[in-house]
Amino acid sequence: MKLQRRSVMAGTAASLAVVGSSAWAHGYPTKPITMIVPFAAGGPTDALARVLCAKMSEHLGQQIVVENIGGAGGTIGVNKVAKSNNDGYTLLFTHMGTLAVNIALYKSLPYDSQKDLEPIGLGGTNPMVLVTKKDLPAKTFAEFQAYVKANKEKVQYGMAGIGAASHLGGLMLNSMMKVDVLEIPYKGTGPALNDLMAGQFDYMVDQAVNVLPQIGSGNIKALGVSTLKRLPQLPDVPTIDEAGLKGYEVTIWNGFFGPKGMAKEQIAKVNEALGRTLADATVSKRLTELAVELPSKDEATPEALRTQLKASIDKWVPAVKAAGVLPQ
């Protein structure tokens, strides 16, 4: 009889816990949310996060505070979210490199991208541009490819660090061109871009938002874009695919995630705020200026982001290994 009474009490307590959790999630958020960006302030992921979070704060009725935690190719910031309390007040905004590509770039990660995080929604996709120092002899992609192959012993390409978007773009480009050239890693896009403008190395493949101003100023040359369609911001620059390197396509998606176990009601509420933000005309205009491609309604769901993450892992892990990159 005592055992039966304990069972009834336990069942009642469990039911109350479920009801309490649901009610708590329904009133969410009741305080500011911390949005961790695992990169330094001022970069493209950070810029996109701040545009989106400012408007999402209005829809959620609570401020979203962006916190930059850089280091180790983004893994430090991602790990903080993966190991955080899953109460919905510590979230993550990051690009695919930290969750997909880093699996191949690091011998071991302190988190499992697919098991330790809950997808919330896609925030936007950044195209990339192949840019060279302004006095590089090549004026077209065909000439560039021929030049690199003929001078591979002295040609150098730069990138913003292991796992950075510019690392991925250059890695895929060099692999598909079948060239092994000297790689110069920097601590961030800013220093790399400054040295490219100064002619310290020959080329890099970086996100459009970073290089468009310098292309427009004539400080560097654009020879190809990484998407399969030309960019409205660079209508005269061909895609690398159409210029001759068939199948080359590298875009950097950015998404919102929470720690494992975050309540579905909370995920739905943040995703709803994201959807309303992406549909906002002012936000859309600003992101277009940054050359960010906005996801459709179907592409912005948690399920779509989960599928996107798996597809990126399936694409990039074999590609990085095939390129012969040794794990850090």
The CATH number for 31-125+252-322, chosen from 3.40.190.150, 2.40.170.20, 3.40.140.10, 2.40.110.10, is: 3.40.190.150
pLDDT at 19: 41
For CATH 3.40.190.10, list the domain ranges present in the chain: 128-225
In the predicted structure, residue 72 carries a pLDDT above the cut 80: yes
> Predicted confidence band at 20 (pLDDT cuts at 50, 70, 90)?
very low
pLDDT at 322: 83
Share of the chain above pLDDT 70, in %: 92
For CATH 3.40.190.150, list the domain ranges present in the chain: 31-125+252-322
Give the mean pLDDT of 271-276: 98
What integer best gives the mean pLDDT of the chain? 91
Architecture of domain 128-225: 3-Layer(aba) Sandwich (3.40)
Instruction: Output the six-digit token pair for 212.
Output: 């468009």
| pLDDT, tens digit (0-9, with 9 covering 90-100), for 46-71 | 999 999 999 999 999 999 999 999 88
